Amino acid sequence: MGLDLSVQIGKIKLKNPVLVASGTFGHAKEFEDFFDLKKLGGIVTKTITLKPRLGNPPPRIVETPAGMLNAIGLQNPGVERFIEDKLPYLKKLGVPIIVSAMGYSVDEFMQVVQTLDRADGIDGYELNLSCPNVPYSSKTETLSLVKMFAHDDRMIEEVVSAVRQVTDKTLIAKLGPDVSDVPKMALAAEKAGADAVSLINTFIAMVIDVKTRKPVLANKTGGLSGPCIRPIAVRMVWETAKRVKIPVLGMGGIMNAEHALEFLIAGATAVQVGTANFMNPEASSQVLNGIEDFMKKEKLSSMKEIIRSVKS
Amino acid sequence: MGLDLSVQIGKIKLKNPVLVASGTFGHAKEFEDFFDLKKLGGIVTKTITLKPRLGNPPPRIVETPAGMLNAIGLQNPGVERFIEDKLPYLKKLGVPIIVSAMGYSVDEFMQVVQTLDRADGIDGYELNLSCPNVPYSSKTETLSLVKMFAHDDRMIEEVVSAVRQVTDKTLIAKLGPDVSDVPKMALAAEKAGADAVSLINTFIAMVIDVKTRKPVLANKTGGLSGPCIRPIAVRMVWETAKRVKIPVLGMGGIMNAEHALEFLIAGATAVQVGTANFMNPEASSQVLNGIEDFMKKEKLSSMKEIIRSVKS
Amino acid sequence: MFKETCEVLENKTVAPDHFLLKLSSKKIGKAALPGQFVQILCSGDSLDPLLPRPFSFLEASPTSFSLLYHVVGQGTELMAKFKKGDKVHVLGPLGKGFTLRRKTEDGRGKRLLVGGGVGIPPLYHLAKDLVRTKEVKKSDIHVFLGARNKSLLLCEKDFLKLGVQLHLATDDGSKGHKGYVTQVLVKFLKSSIFHLPSSLIHSCGPTPMLKAVSLVASEFGAPNEVSVEVPMACGFGACLGCALKVKGETPGSHRFAIACTEGPVFEGSKILWD
Amino acid sequence: MFKETCEVLENKTVAPDHFLLKLSSKKIGKAALPGQFVQILCSGDSLDPLLPRPFSFLEASPTSFSLLYHVVGQGTELMAKFKKGDKVHVLGPLGKGFTLRRKTEDGRGKRLLVGGGVGIPPLYHLAKDLVRTKEVKKSDIHVFLGARNKSLLLCEKDFLKLGVQLHLATDDGSKGHKGYVTQVLVKFLKSSIFHLPSSLIHSCGPTPMLKAVSLVASEFGAPNEVSVEVPMACGFGACLGCALKVKGETPGSHRFAIACTEGPVFEGSKILWD
Ligand SMILES: Cc1cc2nc3c(=O)[nH]c(=O)nc-3n(C[C@H](O)[C@H](O)[C@H](O)COP(=O)(O)OP(=O)(O)OC[C@H]3O[C@@H](n4cnc5c(N)ncnc54)[C@H](O)[C@@H]3O)c2cc1C
Ligand SMILES: Cc1cc2nc3c(=O)[nH]c(=O)nc-3n(C[C@H](O)[C@H](O)[C@H](O)COP(=O)(O)OP(=O)(O)OC[C@H]3O[C@@H](n4cnc5c(N)ncnc54)[C@H](O)[C@@H]3O)c2cc1C
Ligand SMILES: Cc1cc2nc3c(=O)[nH]c(=O)nc-3n(C[C@H](O)[C@H](O)[C@H](O)COP(=O)(O)O)c2cc1C
Ligand SMILES: Cc1cc2nc3c(=O)[nH]c(=O)nc-3n(C[C@H](O)[C@H](O)[C@H](O)COP(=O)(O)O)c2cc1C
Ligand code: FES
Ligand code: FES
């Protein structure tokens, strides 16, 4: 009998629990040479903002032990041109498309999603409440607001409920890791009507070049991702999944199926593959194959038998 | 002309800025075969509690990408037997001895330090406000208190001011990384009379064995340390050193002199070598040599020219 | 773009701290164009270093390709340990290479290839292709090489074998002109008379050299393209980490080009050097 | 305890997925005692894997020592790639080894060495020392080896060369008794008459085997010591990560022993098996 890998995230039924993480999969087209994109459970796009953004000056990335820092600065064509230039290709793939959206204020969040809602071919939204690459030095109120979003349960509640008013599509709140109490933030999103939460975004981090005595990144700080953060991400997914009723999308350093299974067993309903796409463009496809192999080996027929199956 | 590597931490003048981190240097004797311990700027002992502690059941450690989890559970002989059995050897070394102390309540914190204060040969205390290995499930009030300490600026202030009442020796508050606003926590410690803050303790993290579907550690979660956390630790030291007046002791994944210099340039007045001691018992000694080489190469004569010299 | 597991056919020293790595390949070698590059996972399945490392093609054939690399850090040190028969994970061919064919009035133009350090290998690949395709006469292909000393004038003999015109410069004067290769270029542009607009200057090497070359080129009104070297994570447009500051649509404006897909070869005049 | 950079003298397969690694050493080999171990940095200067890996001595001399290891994961896979001449960072000798000399009434006691899997190498080291030091007569040294099949009866020939008494068991019966080595041990203890209190049973191998052996030993009232295998970080008492649950001072109480310094060899009767 066949394996059923499907999972439900809000209104979206994913045929399998393996998605690709925002900002790590280009506009998907970059990967078409490597595997059949139809295989994916879903695609989360690079974060889209209301206006086009040039992004941060270089250097934007630096390698760290078992990880990397990035300060891309949300380079994106803006919501209008995203709909014109990028969405058509994504639509054609026949894979659930979750657009990562963000605004520099509650209003902007609403506008971005409203604009996207008019286009078709979008299945849901992941609200990026946790972009770490807003300049620390920034004084403008809107920016410092953004910096707060994921670190402040009231802001999370405000943004999510505001966006909830303007769309019926599946709404996912993406939370940041730089907090003491992730479940508290997730509960705020749940209360405000989010259909799911994504954990985790990158950690704010820094590398200094001792020769020049300057931060390596032009933005000074960047977001830490990759295998190095996985044990923290698994812990956060584990403690959050115990507290919220809505599904958790887990991510953070997933390089292969075993890592994805760690998240699923800890309580994630689906996983997102991020940094691994850079070293191995086939990573997400291989993660999926590996989960199927695991189910066969352990004679499992549905994801229910894996999700939150952690023993203690 | 000679190099002056000395730095001042509270009342303690360290002949150089390289210490060893609590819980990673045994009782120091374990390292005497590898290098002359007199070289060290200072030694921070394993955390001592009022009563002896057996520690957590095994497994207590698991390797992670460029790091490791530990859930030792503060195995220690208790303050009385520490003074009898372990302190004499440390005293003889002629190196500043900073005893890491912790209690399960504000009162216990005071008792531990008061007891230690009666012994001689102790130069200062590092209050462990951030031990991550207290069982999550625990319901007893004292334990859950401990869990809160480093995550709650008011608790930090309360503990530090209480201990401040009972000792004139140098008092260092060791803070945890699982917070949004480390400077806020450091400012609370400063306000309460701490002479310095130590950043960072380990991140609460988890590894799950997908075969058994159990957390690998008997304690379920453990503390993540090692090179993997360094970029986050450097960022936290950088943002904290900008805000507090008291010195910051930086640590987190320091494997060699270049890493130590990253922390010093970011704003640390001294550094502590931790996990590196396990892979290379000579790590702390080599870090010191490397800093001297750097100063010679760059023609520097004092630490002032390095500490907080980060450009932007 | 292909992901291939290639076998090491050869990995030998060709200059101090410089190695030539030849890899077997069914797909990448066949598709490779001059100026394009590959991403190599130096540490195999280990996570340290985590990211792949980009290297230009030196030569390419339907069954293999080769790179010439300088050992500068952890990744290249691991590569120097590669032994015949080892398996290596490679991604390629990546990026947009040099301009090969271009319409010029009755092909009066010359091609000037200006290279320094590990910028030389892709230029050899280019010269070889220009000769093979007879795009321009050998006599119209002028190669300008610069290095610290003569032992670092990479591929010198190979260029000679090709029969193209060679112009050399070394910082210590151990061979050719004593000084910068750009000085040799300027001298050449001044002395020789040929139709600059239908010519093309290709350069690859250290950023200061690229900047100097494209300034010289614009002075003389010669079209020029440079192959830039910027830190990269993915190498194929997935991370947006390889930003390069270039002129924007509107005058005075700028934007950040994605060097791994829009480049690594850019029109020199488009780049905003800082 | 020494930190040495040792040169690989030999690294060869001795059984399926089992390698013998011989390293040059000026200090560690000279100081090594049976049952002690070394920590090996399998990945050299790379951070993945980060921690060293512990391995018992198989043999030791003033100029070298050797290990016998089973390839089970990332670290041992890297070790399997070690080539003659490679440099390896090693820490040792670590821990407390087996009891060699002990007072017994007119040396009537026998030594019974019970080993399985990669628990066999340290027992060979012990047997060799007992023979060399004439601590007990060869005829009084009985070695019991267990394995899945005969190809995994490590060091069998070496024990034969030593001239000690050999008792074999394999799960598949391909050699010796078909079944567990502990069954052979029990049979031996029942059938042969000798003074148990002055004898000593040493065992090393999978935890279930160690548990079984020490139960058998206590039934028969024979002193026994086991060498345990627990996950370790440092290997020399710095991290307290290698906890082993043992009996506490007061009856019924327990404590956590530090296996790398108090052990890895423990009195079987002291351990609280779960
Ligand atoms: C498109 C492209 C083509 C290239 N072609 C070649 C080639 O044919 N041959 C060759 O030898 N090298 C080439 N390089 C450079 C090569 O990728 C780097 O030297 C290599 O990544 C260094 O890796 P490492 O781990 O040895 O050094 P690292 O440890 O990564 O770095 C060592 C030192 O080199 C510096 N460095 C590392 N990468 C870069 C970079 N991309 N740009 C500038 N400085 C850097 C670091 O800042 C550090 O100071 C190319 C780079 C690009 C982007
Ligand atoms: C004191 C001591 C002496 C040892 N002597 C030898 C020896 O002589 N020969 C030999 O082959 N091995 C010996 N071992 C075991 C050896 O250390 C491990 O097999 C090795 O660390 C595995 O490393 P790896 O990276 O290849 O596997 P890993 O990737 O670390 O692990 C692979 C698998 O083995 C399991 N594993 C890893 N380490 C241990 C451990 N310490 N105990 C139980 N399970 C483990 C893991 O859970 C995993 O399932 C000894 C261990 C100790 C503590
Ligand atoms: C280069 C890069 C760019 C990223 N851009 C975004 C982004 O635009 N929006 C977002 O929500 N997350 C972004 N992320 C975070 C990832 O989606 C993911 O949450 C994080 O990297 C952890 O997963 P990983 O360790 O598997 O990469 C980015 C990560 C990287 C490495
Ligand atoms: C095995 C282990 C035990 C530790 N025990 C303590 C402790 O008792 N008290 C304490 O304050 N920190 C303890 N720490 C944390 C370290 O002192 C240090 O803050 C942390 O490991 C980060 O530094 P590192 O990455 O260099 O190890 C321990 C760390 C490890 C790895
Ligand atoms: S390197 Fe990732 S987009 Fe260019
Ligand atoms: S392994 Fe570190 S104390 Fe035993």
pLDDT at B147: 58
pLDDT confidence band for C196 (50 / 70 / 90): confident
Ligand 4 pocket at CB < 6 A: B 21-24, 46-47, 70, 72, 74, 100, 128, 174, 201-202, 225-226, 229, 251-254, 274-276; D 239, 241
Q: How far apart are CA A22 and CA A126, in angstroms?
A: 9
For A193-228, write each residue's pLDDT tens digit: 999 999 999 999 999 999 999 999 999 999 999 999
DSSP B176-205: -S-SS-HHHHHHHHHHTT-SEEEE--PEEE
Q: How far apart are CA A117 and CA B186, in angstroms?
A: 45
DSSP B12-48: EEESSSEEE-TTSSTTSGGGTTTS-GGG-SEEEPPPB
pLDDT at B132: 62
Looking at the partner chain, which of B203, B213, B229 has a beta carbon nearest the beta carbon of A311? B213
Residues of chain D positioned with their CB less than 8 A from the CB of A66? 47-48
For B178-229, write each residue's pLDDT tens digit: 888 999 999 999 999 999 999 999 999 999 999 999 999 999 999 999 999 9
Is residue A255 lining ligand 3, measured as CB closer than 6 Å?
Answer: no
Contact status, residue B54 vs residue B36, Cβ threshold 8 Å: no
B72/D contact by beta carbon, under 8 A: yes
For A92-111, write each residue's pLDDT tens digit: 999 999 999 999 888 999 99
| Mean local confidence (pLDDT), D184-200 | 86
Report which bound ligand comes closest to the CA of A62. 1
Does A231 contact B266 at a Cβ distance shorter than 8 Å? no
For C52-110, write each residue's pLDDT tens digit: 999 999 999 999 999 999 999 999 999 999 999 999 999 999 999 999 887 766 667 88
Residue A76: beta bridge partners? A53
The CA dihedral of C86, C90, C92, C94, to the nearest 10 degrees, is -120
Distance from CA of D89 to the nearest CA of A (A): 20
For D17-73, write each residue's pLDDT tens digit: 999 999 999 999 999 999 999 999 999 888 999 999 999 999 999 999 999 999 999
pLDDT confidence band for B150 (50 / 70 / 90): confident
- Beta-carbon count within 10 A of D232 CB: 24
Instruction: Write out the two tokens for A93.
Output: 């793939």
pLDDT at B137: 31
Examine the pLDDT at A146 and tell me if it is beyond 70: no
Q: What's the mean per-residue pLDDT of chain C?
A: 93
Helix, strand or coil, per DSSP, at residue D196: helix
Q: How far apart are CA B176 and CA A108, in angstroms?
A: 35
Contact status, residue B260 vs residue B252, Cβ threshold 8 Å: no
Does C2 contact A60 at a Cβ distance shorter than 8 Å? no
| Mean local confidence (pLDDT), C188-197 | 83
pLDDT at A8: 98
Nearest residue in C to B65, CA atom: C47
Rg of chain B in Å (alpha carbons) = 18
pLDDT at A140: 39
Inter-chain contacts counted by CB atoms under 8 A, chains A and B: 135
Of the listed ranges A130-134, C259-263, D23-27, the least confidently predicted one is A130-134
Question: Chain A, 287-306: which have a CB under 8 Å from a chain C CB?
Answer: none
Q: How far apart are CA B9 and CA B27, in angstroms?
A: 22
Atom of ligand 6 nearest to the CA of B278: 2
| Chains in contact with C, counting 3 or more C-beta pairs less than 8 Å apart as contact | A, B, D
Contacts of residue B255, defined as CB under 8 A and 6 or more positions apart, other chains included, come to: B227, B276, B279, B280, B283, D47
Helix, strand or coil, per DSSP, at residue B76: strand
B66/C contact by beta carbon, under 8 A: yes
Is residue C238 lining ligand 5, measured as CB closer than 6 Å?
Answer: yes
Nearest residue in C to D74, CA atom: C46
Examine the pLDDT at C221 and tell me if it is beyond 90: no
Q: How many residues are there in chain D?
A: 274
For C119-144, write each residue's pLDDT tens digit: 999 999 999 999 998 888 899 999 99
pLDDT at A139: 34
Closest CA to D38 of D54, D25, D50: D54
Does B258 contact A210 at a Cβ distance shorter than 8 Å? yes
Examine the pLDDT at B72 and tell me if it is beyond 80: yes
pLDDT at C61: 96
Instruction: Give B120: exposed, middle or buried? Use CB within 10 Å, 0-12, 13-18, 19+.
Output: exposed
Distance from CA of C149 to the nearest CA of B (A): 25
B65/C contact by beta carbon, under 8 A: yes
Closest CA to A65 of B311, B252, B273: B252
Instruction: Read off the amino acid at residue C32.
Output: A
Residue C256: beta bridge partners? C245
Examine the pLDDT at B134 and tell me if it is beyond 80: no
pLDDT confidence band for A142 (50 / 70 / 90): very low
**Of D13, D46, D65, D72, best ligand 2 pocket probe by most atoms within 8 Å of the beta carbon:** D72
Examine the pLDDT at B84 and tell me if it is beyond 90: yes
CA of A62 to the centre of ligand 1 (A): 12
pLDDT confidence band for B139 (50 / 70 / 90): very low
Examine the pLDDT at B294 and tell me if it is beyond 60: yes
User: How many helices (H) does chain D have, and how many strands (E)?
Assistant: 6, 16
Contact status, residue B193 vs residue B163, Cβ threshold 8 Å: no
- Beta-carbon count within 10 A of C252 CB: 6
For D81-115, write each residue's pLDDT tens digit: 999 999 999 999 999 999 888 766 666 788 999 99
CA of D91 to the centre of ligand 2 (A): 16
Share of chain D above pLDDT 70, in %: 98
Helix, strand or coil, per DSSP, at residue D194: coil
Share of chain B above pLDDT 70, in %: 94
Instruction: Read off the amino acid at residue A37.
Output: L
Of all protein residues, the one whose alpha carbon is nearest to atom 30 of ligand 1 is C73
Q: How many residues are there in chain A?
A: 312
Looking at the partner chain, which of B65, B151, B265 has a beta carbon nearest the beta carbon of A227? B65
Q: How far apart are CA B122 and CA C147, in angstroms?
A: 60
Instruction: Read off the amino acid at residue B90.
Output: L
Q: How far apart are CA A262 and CA A264, in angstroms?
A: 6
Q: How far apart are CA C53 and CA C90, in angstroms?
A: 10
pLDDT at D192: 81
Examine the pLDDT at D214 and tell me if it is beyond 80: yes
DSSP C68-135: EEE--SHHHHHHHT--TT-EEEEEEEESB--------GGG---EEEEEEGGGHHHHHHHHHHHHHTTS
Of all protein residues, the one whose alpha carbon is nearest to atom 4 of ligand 4 is B23
Report which bound ligand comes closest to the CA of C93. 1
Atom of ligand 5 nearest to the CA of C239: 2
Is residue C56 lining ligand 1, measured as CB closer than 6 Å?
Answer: yes
Nearest residue in A to D46, CA atom: A65
Instruction: Read off the amino acid at residue D67.
Output: L
- What burial letters (b/e) apply to C92-115, b meaning 16+ CB within 10 Å? bbbbbbbbbeeebeeeebbbbbbb
| Chains in contact with A, counting 3 or more C-beta pairs less than 8 Å apart as contact | B, C, D
H or E stretch covering B206: strand B203-206
Examine the pLDDT at D188 and tell me if it is beyond 50: yes
Q: How far apart are CA B281 and CA C251, in angstroms?
A: 60
Inter-chain contacts counted by CB atoms under 8 A, chains B and C: 3
pLDDT at C135: 85
Residues of chain D positioned with their CB less than 8 A from the CB of A65? 47
Higher pLDDT: D103 or B158? It is B158
**Residue B287 φ then ψ, to 5°:** -60, -45
Closest CA to D75 of D101, D126, D41, D38: D41
H or E stretch covering D14: strand D2-15
Residue D68: beta bridge partners? D20
Closest CA to B31 of B260, B284, B288: B284
pLDDT at A148: 59
Instruction: Give C63: exposed, middle or buried? Use CB within 10 Å, 0-12, 13-18, 19+.
Output: exposed
pLDDT at A136: 29
The CA dihedral of A98, A101, A106, A110, to the nearest 10 degrees, is -60
| Mean local confidence (pLDDT), D227-236 | 97
pLDDT confidence band for C192 (50 / 70 / 90): confident
Provide the 8-state DSSP code for D231. -
Examine the pLDDT at D255 and tell me if it is beyond 50: yes
Of all protein residues, the one whose alpha carbon is nearest to atom 28 of ligand 3 is A23
pLDDT at B133: 54
- Point out the residues of B that are catalytic: 131
Atom of ligand 6 nearest to the CA of D232: 1
Does A261 contact B204 at a Cβ distance shorter than 8 Å? no
Helix, strand or coil, per DSSP, at residue A129: coil
List the end-to-end C-alpha distance of chain C, in Å, as a whole number.
Answer: 32
Contact status, residue C153 vs residue C170, Cβ threshold 8 Å: yes
CA of D125 to the centre of ligand 2 (A): 19
Looking at the partner chain, which of A151, A212, A227 has a beta carbon nearest the beta carbon of B180? A151
For C173-188, write each residue's pLDDT tens digit: 999 999 999 999 999 9
Residue B225: beta bridge partners? B68
Contact status, residue B158 vs residue B183, Cβ threshold 8 Å: no
| Mean local confidence (pLDDT), D163-182 | 93
Of all protein residues, the one whose alpha carbon is nearest to atom 31 of ligand 1 is C73
Helix, strand or coil, per DSSP, at residue C10: strand
